[in-house]
Amino acid sequence: MSYNFKPSIFFLGATGYLGSEFLIRLQRDFPGLQINALVRSPTPERKAQLDAIYHGTHIVPGTLEDSQIILEESSKVDIVINCASSDHKPSVFAVLDGMNQSAARRPGNPPLLIHLSGAGIIADEARGAFKDNIPEHSDIGLDLRNCPPQNTHLDSDIPIVDAGTRKDNPIRSIIIFPSGCYGVGNGVQKTSIWLRFFLEFVKKLNYVGTWGEGYNAINDVHIKDCADALMVIFKAALEGRADEGAEGLYFCASSSRVPYREWTKVMGDYLYGYGHISQPGTCPMPNDVVDSMGFYGWSLLGGNHFCNSDRLAKLGWEPTESKKHGLIETLPECLDEAWSFLSAQHFQAGAGRLLYFLYFTTLTIFTTSDSMHFLTIFAGALVTVAVTSVTARPSLHSSGFTARDEYSDLSLRSLQNEARDDYHALVVRDVLEAIYARDQGPHLEARARFAGPRGGRFAHHQKDGPDAVPPPGPSMPQNPTRPTQLDK
């Protein structure tokens, strides 16, 4: 179908994992639109990255805290797409204020809001414990006011539905609730927010952990399917076929639900195998760690959310990529990508600290008397540590993810690499067995090929005889009903 109407768009979160993957599809199907993207770090590199994804993107410098900018930009366009943060209320309200002005200016032709929320709205309070009969939620007939009221995202989502259903000058509102997205994306940010978030805890604790026992599970969906879903909805909305307002609520999920304790085990074994952390597998994280995120963490990461994407199915969407490549199969490559991303961020944070300290001390040396030098340098060091530690706390939005912990321990651990190589072979085998156990036999060959070149790292260490470590790969038994390592 060709579209004569070329809507103008204000885009929040264009550089993110989901946002940039969707922009790639916009470039493919709708080149030449006027897209204004809010970008908090508009460096030349960032601009070039965005331009490569959507040619001609106009950068609006600003953060989610810049309510006035967000309001003005939202009031000027036909469509606002918000893939930035489903929990940042001030920016959501600024979008709505801007769109309300626009709706009042153009009665009968309201602007459209496509807002990304998350399936965490239906989380239960399992706290990682095993539970039977977990209810499945459909998006058809879903009423946000019937969701557990404390749940994440609802504070932002309910006002959006209200704006889309009010009598006077309603806006057109659509909210999409993805479940856990996985897979390496092709956009600016290549890995999912939750994976980077998890890894921050991993780096801090030196092992992979769960909220409670980790028996809880959520649906997952491949990034490609999620971005395709956004496009299906976008096109349907342009053609006036999409459900909107009270009906404009779309779960985006495949039917796969892997308990946290299963995928975190694969994650722990894999990271341990590469010497990144000090213990393999997974275990419950201590209360003082998980409680630091309060109800929010318990609900989002210790709860179950089982949902069905019935509305997307009505529009013809299917999670085709998720069926081909499941969560566990893609974990190793996602971990590689996310680990290097965070490592680069930590390095930058360290360099930033050093510069800040040098700047502070140089300034004070030139502005204070000789007798004060030592004291001011000492104070400078304290201030630097205090400021950077506070601003570096893991957070799900706004400040992004930078960690307090340095990981000089990594270099120490690399000294032990030789001793680890045999263990590493076992770990790779564990990961592969877990994948077999999850009935993903056909894709295992691909994973085995993935393990191949890295396997080369330890291949010459392998022993012959009864203690030999079986090589990873197609020679492994392919019994999909085999119990996982966790069940042994």
Ligand X SMILES: NC(=O)c1ccc[n+]([C@@H]2O[C@H](COP(=O)([O-])OP(=O)(O)OC[C@H]3O[C@@H](n4cnc5c(N)ncnc54)[C@H](OP(=O)(O)O)[C@@H]3O)[C@@H](O)[C@H]2O)c1
Q: Name the residue nearer to ligand X (CB basis): 384 or 402.
A: 402
Q: Do the bridges between strand 257-259 and strand 217-222 make them parallel or antiparallel, or are there none, so unpaired?
A: antiparallel
Q: What's the min distance (Å) between Cβ of 71 and ligand X?
A: 15
Q: Name the residue nearer to ligand X (CB basis): 38 or 277.
A: 38
Beta strands in 191-311 (DSSP E): 208-210, 217-222, 249-252, 257-259, 282-284, 306-308
Q: What's the min distance (Å) between Cβ of 68 and ligand X?
A: 14
Q: Shortest CA distance to 296 belongs to which of 125, 143, 180?
A: 125
Instruction: Check binding of 180 to ligand X (CB under 6 A).
Output: yes
Q: Select the span of 34-42, 257-265, 338-346, 375-383 touching ligand X (CB under 6 A).
A: 34-42
Q: Shortest CA distance to 197 belongs to which of 17, 424, 414, 447?
A: 17
Per the CB < 8 A criterion, the answer to whether 220 and 322 are in contact is yes
Q: Name the residue nearer to ligand X (CB basis): 345 or 376.
A: 345
Residues 374-433 that bind ligand X (CB under 6 A): 397-398, 400
Instruction: Check binding of 86 to ligand X (CB under 6 A).
Output: yes
Per the CB < 8 A criterion, the answer to whether 273 and 428 are in contact is yes
Instruction: Check binding of 263 to ligand X (CB under 6 A).
Output: no
Q: What's the min distance (Å) between Cβ of 449 and ligand X?
A: 27
Q: Name the residue nearer to ligand X (CB basis): 296 or 357.
A: 296
* CA atoms within a 13 Å half-sphere pointing along the CA-CB vector of 318: 4
Residues 120-149 that bind ligand X (CB under 6 A): none
Q: What's the min distance (Å) between Cβ of 62 and ligand X?
A: 7
- 23, 64, 253, 428: residue in contact with ligand X (rule CB under 6 A): 64
Torsion over CA: 70, 75, 81, 85 (sign): positive
Please state, in angstroms and rounded to a whole number, the distance separating the CA atoms of residues 358 and 349. Answer: 14
Instruction: Check binding of 178 to ligand X (CB under 6 A).
Output: yes
Length of the chain: 488
| CA-angle at 98, arms to 102 and 139, nearest 5° | 90
- 70, 71, 144, 181: residue in contact with ligand X (rule CB under 6 A): 181
State the binding string over 268-287 for ligand X (x if CB under 6 A, else -).
Answer: --------------------
Q: Shortest CA distance to 97 belongs to which of 111, 117, 83, 118?
A: 111
Both tokens of 46, joined, read 């960032």
End-to-end CA distance of the chain: 54
Both tokens of 176, joined, read 């999409």
Q: Select the span of 10-18, 47-55, 337-345, 477-485 touching ligand X (CB under 6 A).
A: 10-18
C-alpha gyration radius of the chain: 24
Q: What's the min distance (Å) between Cβ of 177 and ligand X?
A: 7
Instruction: Check binding of 17 to ligand X (CB under 6 A).
Output: yes
Q: Name the residue nearer to ligand X (CB basis): 327 or 432.
A: 327
Helix runs in 35-117, H state only = 44-53, 67-76, 89-105
Q: Name the residue nearer to ligand X (CB basis): 178 or 280.
A: 178
Q: Name the residue nearer to ligand X (CB basis): 102 or 219.
A: 219
Instruction: Check binding of 472 to ligand X (CB under 6 A).
Output: no
Phi-psi map region of 402: left, alpha, beta (phi>0 left; psi -120 to 50 alpha)? beta
- 70, 84, 236, 444: residue in contact with ligand X (rule CB under 6 A): 84
Per the CB < 8 A criterion, the answer to whether 398 and 85 are in contact is yes
- 19, 98, 111, 302: residue in contact with ligand X (rule CB under 6 A): 19
Instruction: Check binding of 63 to ligand X (CB under 6 A).
Output: yes
Instruction: Check binding of 233 to ligand X (CB under 6 A).
Output: no
Q: Letter for the amino acid at 28?
A: R
- 9, 18, 69, 338: residue in contact with ligand X (rule CB under 6 A): 18
Q: What's the min distance (Å) between Cβ of 219 and ligand X?
A: 10
- 6, 31, 41, 149: residue in contact with ligand X (rule CB under 6 A): 41
Q: What's the min distance (Å) between Cβ of 358 and ligand X?
A: 26
296-299's contacts with Cβ under 8 Å and 24+ in sequence apart are 296/152, 296/396, 297/211, 298/125, 298/127, 298/211, 298/212, 299/120, 299/123, 299/125, 299/148, 299/150, 299/151, 299/152
Q: Select the span of 80-88, 265-273, 284-292, 359-367 touching ligand X (CB under 6 A).
A: 80-88
Q: Name the residue nearer to ligand X (CB basis): 83 or 95.
A: 83
Instruction: Count Cβ atoms within 10 A of the Cβ of residue 38 and give its class: 0-12 exposed, 13-18 middle, 19 or more buried.
Output: buried
Instruction: Check binding of 15 to ligand X (CB under 6 A).
Output: yes
Q: What's the min distance (Å) between Cβ of 197 and ligand X?
A: 9
Q: Name the residue nearer to ligand X (CB basis): 349 or 469.
A: 349
Residues 97-116 that bind ligand X (CB under 6 A): 116
Residue nearest to ligand X (CB): 16
3-state SS class at 172 = strand
Beta strands in 128-281 (DSSP E): 136-138, 172-178, 180-182, 208-210, 217-222, 249-252, 257-259
**Residues in the site for ligand X, rule: CB under 6 A?**
13-19, 38, 40-41, 63-64, 83-86, 116, 118, 178, 180-181, 189, 192-194, 397-398, 400
